[in-house]
Amino acid sequence: MASHGIGKSTLILQICDKIDIQGKILYVSGEESAEQIKLRADRLNVHKDNLLFLSETDIDNIEAQIEKNNPEFVIIDSIQTVYSDDITSSAGSVSQVREITARIMKICKHKGITTIIIGHVTKDGTIAGPRVLEHMVDTVLYLEGERYFSYRILRGVKNRFGSTNEIGMFEMENEGLVEILDPSSILISDKDSSGSSGTVIIVSLEGTRPLLIELQALVTQSFFGMPRRNAIGIDYNRLTLLAAVLEKKTRVSLGTQDIYLNVVSGIKINEPAIDLGICVATVSSLKNIPIDKKVVVIGEVGLTGEVRSVNLIDKRLNEAEKLGYKKCIIPESNKKYLKESHKLDIIGVKNVSEAIKYLGLA
């Protein structure tokens, strides 16, 4: 699943180039012509003698070509463009997608053909149109990222054959999507700049992979009577909740302040372990006091202001240590039960106020 312009066709062509099979590969595109695919293939230096291309949207013709060529690998790009004359609704509707997917699955499972079906997602990340597609297939992968940023994450959200805990991270370059072997080192724009107010380094888990990410907050006087809250890369509701916790539990006055929060590099983060980072970045920007650029902040924040434990803390600390960070603020409950010894100076805190005081923001 991917949104328009994010690189799904590029990724598919690279898969076709790397996959090691003796049989035929059938690439069915209802969106692009043979000339467009050929130009992209040349740019990516993809030259496979067993790669067949079909520009078609009629499922009857697609089935006929699968029967005729008997490929080992089939790609449908995209399911929202394919239609059946037996159904009166337009291509991309629930009934069309259900019927098309069922017919593709029937022929490909009968012949033992590995098949990739590409679908689009909306701006909020859900499958465009029906979610029926997600329920019918064996595995669902999401290709995530902002089209104006070069980084992409390939995330498994359903897998009948194994775990969905792993992700792949790539950078879009001229030769296509290139794997990023050390994501943390590039997600922090400049270690020297992380000493400015409102900036903090957090550790987020993507699957089981820890990533060090730069979080930026900007707090300014509101001139419109109603203070604004704006979040890019995290849930807006989470930001408003944490702002309320700060106001109530740390006596920080945010009722007349606009708060803008940004996760650098266009990454989206959903886990609560970044809560403490959001809190200290907000206070840092409000008071215009920089946070030590060698400090990493980890912790979930509850409604009473307590800092709650997070999972896989040793992995997070190892990643921070590997990138040369010296100090790490973590939940006190995590510090008690660390399984490994670390060279980091580890500070355990029980609540947000303790973290703020330690960083000199009180």
The whole-angstrom separation of Cα 213 and Cα 186 is: 9
- In the chain, the domains with their CATH numbers are 8-181 (3.40.50.300), 186-358 (3.30.230.10)
Read off φ and ψ for residue 361, nearest 5 degrees.
Answer: -100, -5
Three-state SS string over 111-167 comes to HCCEEEEECEECCCCCECCCCHHHHHCCEEEEEECCCCCCEEEEEEEEECCCCCCCE
Nearest C-alpha neighbor of 75 from the set 13, 150, 130, 134:
13
Query: What beta strand segments (E) does 160-248 contain?
Result: 167-173, 176-179, 199-206, 209-221, 229-232
In this structure, the strands spanning 295-297 and 327-331 are: parallel
Q: How many residues does this entry show for the chain? A: 362
Q: Which helix (H) or strand (E) holds 253?
A: none
Report how far residue 348's alpha carbon sits from residue 280's, in angstroms, rounded to the nearest whole number. Answer: 15
Contact of 227 with 259, CB cutoff 8 Å: yes
pTM greater than 0.75: yes
DSSP letter string, 287-351: HT-BPPTTEEE--EE-TTSBEE--S-HHHHHHHHHHTT--EEEEEHHHHTT--S--SSEEEEESB
For the chain, count helices (H), then strands (E): 11, 17
Each residue's pLDDT tens digit in the chain (362 positions)? 555 567 888 999 999 999 989 899 999 999 889 899 999 999 999 989 999 999 999 999 999 999 999 999 999 998 989 999 999 998 888 899 999 999 999 999 999 999 999 988 765 555 555 578 888 999 999 888 776 677 888 888 889 988 887 788 898 888 889 998 888 877 786 555 446 899 999 999 987 889 999 999 999 999 888 899 999 999 999 999 999 999 999 989 999 999 999 998 778 898 999 999 999 999 999 999 999 888 999 999 999 999 999 999 999 999 999 888 999 999 999 999 898 889 999 999 999 999 999 999 98
Instruction: At 332, give phi and psi (nearest 5°).
Output: -60, -35
